[in-house]
Structure 1
């Protein structure tokens, strides 16, 4: 079986269904994950990591889940001559059968249920990148059309993915559109969960303001509020149907090409508007089922995830659910006919069957509703001769409910225990693989003690990923019997992995299957890990533990390779150290000459001995910073820790580049703290001296004080962007920031800014408005409003204020307070124009023209008798 990943409620349930049906036919299943381990937040890549499909050399048949292989590779699989059945994928050949859940029937039932609740404006949210999602969308539109409703384009909320984030994005778009719908069909449960959370965070009350029905029946839907009504596509039965078709093709029977659909069921919870959890079982009319037998059959059909475990649970899903139905019916029949209570052994068996069938979270509520309905129907159907058996029948229903409750509780406790064991196993694996000081991870000794199955690790024999069957070497096995140890060192190919000896070692008919997961992480691709285990079908996230182990194994192998490289480098450095000591003797003889040359050139020289980790600082170097000779030692920190924090990273990176073999000499300006506590700008120049092996041995350079030149450069740069008289931002820099604000407005619908123009006016007949007025305006404007705001002088008497990130309520309070303070302190000499929003304006020049027009209109409205112009 080829699948993008090998865990989670979707892929895991499909694999579990395949395994159930295959075990019943005497076959063993190998589930191959075709996508890399450790995927980033389930953002699947465009294609699988496996160039050659694994295990094709020794399999009887192949089930391929949609998107696990590209169309080209899927077509190439047919050349191997292995019978193929697809799940939710477009066929590579017209003869290929494709098994899909009944997306059309499930969505139709969901839409009609919302119509029954009185909704007519029903929307759809989802990502249409996959076949199933496109079918669900088409079924939604056609069902509305059948009921005389034409779906509006505004009712379609596109999701960026099939996860919670995509649902939250769709909720944001719905709110921005003014909530045109009263109910929504979600393509996936995870979309719906993110959608509901986003709506509730904005104050909407669900399902009053928006009813929701989803598709998938994942356990996460039972954990949200309100609990999610959903369509159960019965993914396990989809997998079972795929195996039935595959076995028929393997036996030479005719199998119809095209689609084979598996019926789905609507699971009603509170998110659609219903007040209690119900199931399709309660939809059976009374005249069709007088005593409730059909009710119980349909309840068993929808309330359970599927049989796992041992004993009875090894039978097919249908047989196991029929056995549960009979275990419920028999005590009720005995009580109705004889008036006797159910036997404890029968109740215990019913409890065992209930736990083995993995009941869904809402199963117990459904069972209470259905069994009480069955009780009423059976009591009403008792003949007069057995009317005295009614109390016994009611007690029997109560006893059955208690047994079923114990089974549901036991299943939940078993799942909790399984999760706790998984956490313990993950901790053991994490510690063993990341410690890096034990045995090689290739030996698989890091596997948890609870793993009793077999495992095998194959690493690629070369990094060549060209077309063809890649060669690999088996480097480690896990086998309690020791019979597989002979595989270590064997060369094989990807198409022959896992080796037949590993798959034959497993017991046919057991619950375990063999998983094959790529040992990858980031850019590393080491090989393949094959391991026996059980599939996880109930987790919302497709994060199978074997996926996690394979990703950590790739990290551990990366670390092992790095440590080996470091050991080789250390050996080389030790050899170089001996040569360096001889070179150091020669260097010491030259130190006096270096000191004299430094004093003559007025430069502070320094000499960094890489192997010894010490630095020689010349007397001139220390004098340049104002320190006495005995204050500065010979450690690199004497220099680096006095470097300005803003320059420290750049200097460290430049030195590291030199020591790493940089081809050009080091030349960098940075600030260094002097003995007085202030910082001076220094020019550092250095070259690297190599030893005989070509490795950096010394770093020799000078330090020159360039403070006066640097400060002059900074002053020139500042004057280019600031008004020299006031120190405020000038017109050039203001235009640049206005342009950036306009660009951000176009990108973000929630962002806006305000602009104010303050103009100092002359009095009529007065050529000079007075320096005190300008001085007071500048003094007020220098006070910062908030980080991100800008105050600029654009002309002799004009000042512009750019207020960043304003809300939808108009002029922000900080701008109002500033303008009121200016009017109070400066008086009528000011004219003010305020532009509350820049949205819709083309460029910065248009913003300035618009705010000036606002100012001029404000002047035109003033009393003409005033002495202002």
Structure 2
């Protein structure tokens, strides 16, 4: 039951490899505590993925009425926004940064310990010249750089300023120093410590372009241990941040503060660990602990979170895996046929706690080493156990391949969803994007949109839900009331409520709220909910542009009245309605040519504008006036059934137009000939218009 205080998160992005991992951890920890999570993305839907120092343009109190307190991620908002949150009485916990503030609790990875371990590892390999690359404007990177310097000094190595290689950002693109010219004489140092894995991957790409191979020509370490690090060639050695554990710690601190408990300010450190791989010159499989107490459990326990963050569920997964392996090995040793499926599934559950490529190798080696240490009765038992181990490893690999197939299917579904979204929002121009029916193409469970009103409120059309439930909206809400309470209540324990600005460049439409699961398997800023907000904004822009173009195509540019095409469209619509009664007046100005010839075209144009305005003011609601061209006008009169009515309206128009006009300091008069017709038995717009035209010429001929 999710009835606890709502946890708010301020994040530059609603998902992604780094931010998504933190958001997933926050959402899971909040759900375990009985709370829902609202993630507010502070960058625009189509913003660049490079951000430093917060989002100064984000200042709206989004969802403040629902949220009890905030976890604030790095580069989400400025310090002044944080102060506004605190002034509103909402506790704040910083996650992944502290911005140099000692007055707030901040959960951080132990940056210094991780870098010390990485640098010491390179020194143990015999390296004395070790470079550092990163963007030290960012506080956690500055910590890592300081730890790098201190570790060198502790080992009697003076830091060389020439070996600090500043990066423009924390991404692959930040490695601007790695140019072909700079690498002409080889790598800047035989060992390089990168502040982030993305920086490290940028280094590997740049040096590979210069035909420098890792680890033959240089060795390299990163930081973060993002999923793609292990898939590099060679595998990227990295410092592993326990992002899930950091998120859980931040949620715990926040909920304590919300409940009124004392939460000390300052840094709350979460351990990091160095993961050696091929890029630092080591084998890609981490070393295993030794010991005789419980060899199997000790070896596979490296896949669990650190001791201080291990949950009862984690320990139960470990216990079941160890028990299952022992059971099948014992069954095989006794000469009976073991059932491998439960053991393989138990090992897969253990693998899923740390789903890295080396984790499968850890499991395989642990099982092999465990059986090698067993005292078996005879050679036959040994052979049976060896066969059992091989079959168990193969069964686990098959489950892993099945999971990989599921991931490939997810990617196919994501591509399909993007296609269907594009078609629904950008191609199906007759649909209204605000009805959110297009969300059916995504995995989302529900959604609501708030569109800005003139006074900066949010007009909320009816929301969309995948499953039946209480209706959401329509309503007009303040920013602090959005998203609607009904949408928040509809979120299941595994789901998160995301709020993303529907803003692309200068087009600011409002806010989009979506109930979905966190996507941490794509690049930051490229998750589906972000794309939904961007495409939704573009779709509204396109609809508006098309309407402007349509109005321009159907309007007379001089008078602003509908033009011939628009009038014919109106007339055709009326003519298609059986039994509808209406009339048409055809107006032709008398004396307009003389005004044009004597006073000039500018005065003539001004006269047409004034005539159009007099016609417009003379009409009833539902009537339509249009300019056909030159000095000809037409009027559609709705619900007119008799000629006397037409004559009365025509006479009123004639008198109105005949009144003098004051133009360019002159008094100008024109007359008008008006032909009238009712629908009668005429079937088409052309026939009706021709009849009115003919009636006008009869009037004009009679007046001559």
| TM-score (structure 2 length as normaliser) | 0.73
User: 1:440 Cα shift?
Assistant: 1.0
1:558 maps to 2:541: yes
Which whole-Å CA distance do the structure 2 matches of 1:320 and 1:520 have between them? 42
> Which residue is 1:35 aligned to?
43
Q: Which residue of 2 aligns with 1:405?
A: 397
Report whether the alignment pairs 1:299 with 2:303: yes
* CA distance in 2 between partners of 1:392 and 1:59 (Å): 60
| Residues 1:420 and 2:412 aligned together | yes
Residue 112 of structure 2 is aligned to residue 127 of structure 1: no
Which one of 491, 498, 505 corresponds to residue 506 of structure 1?
491
Partner residue, 1:516: 499
2:100 and 2:207 map into 1 onto residues whose CA distance is 41
Q: Which of 340, 365, 370 pairs up with 2:366?
A: 370
SS in 2 for 1:194: helix
Going from structure 1 to structure 2, the CA distance change for 1:174 and 1:225 (only over 3 Å counts) comes to farther
Structure-2 change in CA distance of 1:171 and 1:434 (3 Å): same
Cα 1:291/1:72, change in 2 over 3 Å: same
Match of 1:455 among 419, 435, 447: 447
Aligned length: 565
Shift of 1:481: 4.7
Contiguous gaps of at least 5 residues in structure 2: 1-8, 565-585, 598-627, 630-704
Task: Please say if residues 277 and 285 of structure 2, whose CA atoms lie closer than 8 Å, have aligned partners that are also in contact.
Answer: yes
1:319 offset after TM fit, Å? Answer: 4.0
- The separation in 2 between residues aligned to 1:438 and 1:294, in whole angstroms, is 63
- Residue in 2 that maps onto 1:277: 284
The match for 1:343 among 339, 346, 357 is: 339
Q: Aligned pair 1:230/2:238, yes or no?
A: yes
Structure 2 match to 1:83: 91
**Distance in 1 of aligned mates of 2:588 and 2:186:** 77
- How far off is 1:254 after superposition? 3.2
Match of 2:691 in 1: none
Structure 2 counterpart of 1:329, from 322, 333, 355: 322
Aligned to 2:202: 194
The 1:207–1:576 alpha-carbon spacing in structure 2 relative to 1, beyond 3 Å, is same
Cα distance, 1:38 vs. partner?
Answer: 0.8
Structure 1 residues 345 and 362: alpha-carbon distance in aligned structure 2, compared to 1, 3 A threshold: closer
Mapped contact 1:277–1:365 kept (Cα < 8 A): no
Please say if residues 163 and 191 of structure 1, whose CA atoms lie closer than 8 Å, have aligned partners that are also in contact. yes
Q: Which residue is equivalent to 2:192?
A: 184
Give the direction of change, closer, same or farther, for the CA distance of 1:559–1:410 in structure 2 (3 Å limit): same
- Give the alignment of 1:68-147 within 5 angstroms: 68-90=76-98, 94-147=102-155
Give the Cα–Cα distance (whole angstroms) in 2 for the partners of residues 542 and 289 of structure 1: 47
Larger radius of gyration: 1
Contact 1:331 1:342 in 2 (8 A): no
Q: Please, which moves more after superposition, 58-67 or 15-24?
A: 58-67
Residues 175 and 199 (structure 1), Cα distance of their counterparts in 2 relative to 1, 3 Å cut: same
Partner of 2:460: 474
Measured on the aligned residues, the alpha-carbon RMSD in Å equals: 3.3
Mapped pair 1:529 → 2:512: yes
Deviation, structure 1 residue 235: 1.4
Question: Are the aligned partners of 1:38 and 1:520 in contact in 2 as well (CA < 8 Å)?
Answer: yes
The separation in 1 between residues aligned to 2:587 and 2:74, in whole angstroms, is 62
Cα offset, 1:299, TM superposition? 2.9
Instruction: Find the counterpart in structure 1 of residue 482 from structure 2.
Output: 497
Give the secondary-structure state (helix, strand or coil) at the position aligned to 2:234. coil
Give the 3 Å change call, closer, same or farther, for CA 331–156 of structure 1 in structure 2: same
Q: CA 1:114–1:249 in structure 2 vs 1: closer, same or farther (change >3 Å)? A: same
Shift of 1:476: 4.1
Distance of aligned partners of 1:233 and 1:132 in 2 relative to their CA distance in 1, 3 Å threshold:
same
Does the alignment pair 1:429 with 2:421? yes
Aligned with 2:473 (options 476, 487, 495)? 487
Separation in 1, partners of 2:176, 2:367: 39
Contact map agreement 2:13 2:43 (CA 8 A) in 1: yes
Does the Cα contact within 8 Å between 1:355 and 1:407 map onto a contact in 2?
Answer: no
Q: What is the deviation of 1:150?
A: 1.3
Deviations, residues 204-243 of structure 1 (Å, cap 9, x unaligned) = 1221211111012123323433221112212122111111
> How many Å separate the matches in 1 of 2:483 and 2:14?
16
| CA distance, structure 1, for counterparts of residue 520 and residue 479 of structure 2 | 27
Q: Is 1:549 the counterpart of 2:532 in the alignment?
A: yes
Select the residue among 253, 263, 273 that pairs with 2:271.
263
What's the offset of the Cα at 1:485?
A: 3.7
The correspondence of residues 709-728 of structure 1 with structure 2, limited to 5 A, is none
Q: Is the partner of 1:209 in helix, strand or coil?
A: coil
Tell me how far 1:4 sits from its aligned partner.
0.6
User: Take 2:252 and 2:295, find their aligned partners in 1: how far apart are those partners?
Assistant: 34
Between 1:474-483 and 1:165-174, the stretch displaced more is 165-174
Task: Determine which of 430, 440, 443 is the counterpart of 1:438.
Answer: 430
- Native 8 Å contact 1:106 1:265 kept in 2: yes
For residue 503 of structure 1, give the secondary structure of its aligned residue in structure 2.
helix
What is the aligned partner in structure 2 of residue 214 from structure 1? Answer: 222
Does structure 1 residue 175 correspond to structure 2 residue 183? yes
| Contact residue 4 and residue 48 of structure 1 kept, 8 A | no
What displacement does 1:483 show? 4.2
1:349-377 CA deviation, whole Å, 9 max, x = no partner?
A: 3265257547123332333333333333x
Which sits farther off after the overlay, 83-92 or 7-16? 83-92
* Structure 2 contact 196–224 (Cα < 8 Å) conserved: yes
Q: Does the alignment pair 1:567 with 2:550?
A: yes
CA separation of 1:351 and 1:178: change in aligned 2, threshold 3 A: closer
2: CA distance, partners of 1:224 / 1:108: 23
- Residues 652-707 of structure 1: CA deviation (Å, up to 9, x unaligned): xxxxxxxxxxxxxxxxxxxxxxxxxxxxxxxxxxxxxxxxxxxxxxxxxxxxxxxx
Looking at structure 2, the residues matched to 391 and 296 of structure 1 have their Cα atoms a distance apart, in angstroms, of 24
Cα deviation for residue 287 of structure 1 reads 3.6
Structure-to-structure mapping, 1:233-244, within 5 angstroms: 233-244=241-252
- Cα distance, 1:295 vs structure 2: 1.5
Secondary structure of the 2:500 match is strand
